[in-house]
Structure formats: structure tokens, C-alpha cells
């Protein structure tokens, strides 16, 4: 017995206690952590992230770490840590429900704008704003399981097309009344961040089977959604909105209100998450590790088909 304690959070995730994370992690502790991560989807380590060593040691319990492809996000001198926030990369922000926010990112699954869905990520809070900056998580496996049988049948074999959405999506699917307005054009953001200008289209199945747990879940990643393959835009949008409205119900969600040094790990293959943003004049800084072993569930959309999606 490792002596670890797991306290269930709202509707997804568990809070972990019962170990000193400044010390090397014993094999039985590592085994229990990994099993709990697969079971709960999200693990929270309250105020555990005292330094980068703790963050990296805990991350490696869940696998090797990956170098993030966006080099502009690397923490100086490190390939295994990227940062979110700080003042250098803040940009002009977004108007979200009438307030100017930094760090807002609509609901998504990491790297769903590539063929390979990220395995998971671990975030550590380094600088806190006075308010805001929460992270929301939803359980895409339980949401899939609870869908009406007819909807699950309709989803069988369906694929959706995705594109890295550097400005807010056309519509905040599943969040009626929520308004988001970019304060820079996509071209301006691409230039500021140094992204490649030709953003590819990606084709993903809308349901995936978890490679380790066998859980079936929805792959929605609403922030990068373009269209469901083979559907007219209006029909596709209506169905996508129906699915996201279902997913964003409270019984599938958890809102993490950060404390300094909190560490949160999520399984990106069975969760959707969202950064709610914080007042633009304030500073928030978080460091993230990314687990190697992405799930190769998607593919680049064929050039011949791109004409179809380009009209959407």
C-alpha cells in the first residue's frame, strides 16, 4: 500500500495527498498514481509544485516528456517545460463577456489541431492573478456513455475536421450567451507568435477508444472544430452544438480554482479543458510539461478535400 489518499472532485478528477513530493517517488506510489490518473482523468496535487524538480519528477511518473513543437513557449534553457502567461507573450487579449481578459482559451483537447492527440499534460501555477484564471475540465468518456443510443449510433464512423484556431471559434459551441471577441486578427497573432502561416486541416474520428483504459469517449476539441465531414455546415454546427451542450453539463465538469504551486495533471484522451482567462492588466504564469506518447488518431485532411472545407 502506497499510503496515498484520493479525494474525488466534483464530477471528474481526484485530489491527491499522503506523500512528500520533494522526495524521490517510490515504485508503489508511482503505480497507484498512474492507476488513479487513468481512473479519474484529472489529478490535483494541492500546493505541491514548490520547484521545477518536483514538477518534473511527478511528470515522469506518467511517462517520458515531450519537447513542445512551439519553441516560443519553451521556458528559457528548457525543452521539457513550456510556459503559459507572463507578460511577454500576453498580446492584446480578448473581450470575453464584455471584459478584457488575457489567457482565455476556449474548450479544447491539446494538440487536436495535429494528427496526434496529446497523451496528457501537467500544469504548475507559478504566478497567480488576484482573480480569475480558473481551468475547467469535462469528462468526455462519461459524456459519451450517457448519450442516447441513437446519438451514439449517429456518431459511429463520423469524423470532424479541425484547424488550429488562433482566434476564438466562430461560435462558443455549447455555451449559449457566452461572447468572445478577438482583439487582433489571425494574421497578427500568427506573426506575433511565429506560427507557420499555412495552418493545415486535420481529420479526427468523433469517438475514440482510450489506448490504455479502453474507455470510449468523444473527441470534440471545440476550439479547433471546423465541420463534420460529409455534412452541410448548418447541419454539422447544429449537431456539434448538441454534443458540446451535452458535454458541458455540470455532472461532467470540474472547475479548478488555482492556489499558488498547485499541480494539475489531465488525461487529454478523455477530457476537454478550458482556460477562463484573467484580467488583462494582471499577471498569471504557469509551467507545463507534456507527456510523450500521443495518440495517433487523426490525419492531415487530403488536399483534394480541402476545397470542400475551405468554403465552410
* Interacting residue ranges for Fe ion, rule: CB under 5 A: 110
**Smallest distance, Å, CB 157 to Fe ion?**
27
**Smallest distance, Å, CB 151 to Fe ion?**
26
155 vs 277, beta carbon nearer Fe ion: 277
H/E stretch holding 189: helix 186-193
Closest residue by beta carbon to Fe ion: 110
Residues near 186 by beta carbon (within 8 Å), at least 6 away in sequence: 166, 167
29 vs 202, beta carbon nearer Fe ion: 202
**Residue 96 burial (CB count, 10 A):** 21
Distance CA 45, CA 167 (A): 31
Q: Cell triple for residue 298?
A: 487523426
Distance CA 204, CA 218 (A): 11
Burial class (CB in 10 A: 0-12, 13-18, 19+), 8: exposed
Distance CA 271, CA 80 (A): 22
Q: Cell triple for residue 265?
A: 495533471
**Smallest distance, Å, CB 84 to Fe ion?**
8
**Smallest distance, Å, CB 231 to Fe ion?**
27
66 vs 110, beta carbon nearer Fe ion: 110
135 vs 282, beta carbon nearer Fe ion: 135
**Smallest distance, Å, CB 235 to Fe ion?**
29
**Smallest distance, Å, CB 112 to Fe ion?**
9
Distance CA 61, CA 21 (A): 12
90 vs 154, beta carbon nearer Fe ion: 90
Amino acid at each position: 500500500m502506497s499510503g496515498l489518499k484520493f479525494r474525488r472532485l466534483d464530477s471528474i478528477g481526484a485530489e491527491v495527498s499522503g506523500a512528500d513530493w520533494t522526495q524521490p517517488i517510490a515504485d508503489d506510489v508511482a503505480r497507484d498514481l498512474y492507476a488513479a490518473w487513468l481512473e479519474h482523468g484529472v489529478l490535483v496535487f494541492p500546493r505541491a509544485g514548490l520547484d521545477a524538480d518536483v514538477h518534473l519528477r511527478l511528470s515522469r511518473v506518467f511517462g517520458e516528456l515531450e519537447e513542445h513543437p512551439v519553441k516560443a513557449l519553451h521556458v528559457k534553457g528548457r525543452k521539457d517545460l513550456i510556459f503559459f502567461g507572463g507578460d511577454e507573450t500576453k498580446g492584446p487579449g480578448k473581450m470575453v463577456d464584455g471584459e478584457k481578459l488575457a489567457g482565455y482559451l476556449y474548450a479544447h483537447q491539446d494538440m487536436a489541431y495535429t494528427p496526434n492527440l496529446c497523451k496528457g499534460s501537467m500544469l504548475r501555477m507559478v504566478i497567480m492573478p488576484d482573480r480569475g484564471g480558473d481551468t475547467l475540465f469535462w469528462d468526455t468518456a462519461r459524456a459519451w456513455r450517457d448519450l442516447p443510443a441513437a446519438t451514439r449510433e449517429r456518431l459511429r464512423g463520423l469524423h470532424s475536421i479541425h484547424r488550429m484556431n488562433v482566434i476564438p471559434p466562430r461560435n462558443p459551441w455549447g455555451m449559449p450567451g457566452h461572447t468572445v471577441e478577438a482583439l487582433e486578427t489571425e494574421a497578427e497573432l500568427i506573426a506575433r507568435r511565429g506560427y507557420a502561416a499555412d495552418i493545415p486541416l486535420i481529420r479526427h474520428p468523433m469517438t475514440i477508444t482510450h489506448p490504455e483504459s479502453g474507455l470510449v469517449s468523444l473527441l470534440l476539441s471545440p476550439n479547433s472544430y471546423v465541420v463534420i465531414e460529409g455534412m452541410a455546415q448548418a447541419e454539422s454546427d447544429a449537431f456539434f452544438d448538441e454534443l458540446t451542450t451535452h458535454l458541458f453539463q455540470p455532472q461532467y465538469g470540474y472547475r479548478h480554482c488555482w492556489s499558488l504551486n498547485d499541480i494539475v495533471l489531465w488525461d487529454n484522451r478523455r477530457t476537454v479543458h478550458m482556460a477562463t482567462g484573467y484580467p488583462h492588466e494582471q499577471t498569471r504564469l504557469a509551467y507545463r510539461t507534456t507527456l510523450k506518447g500521443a495518440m495517433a488518431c487523426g490525419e492531415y485532411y487530403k488536399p483534394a478535400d480541402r476545397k470542400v472545407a475551405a468554403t465552410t
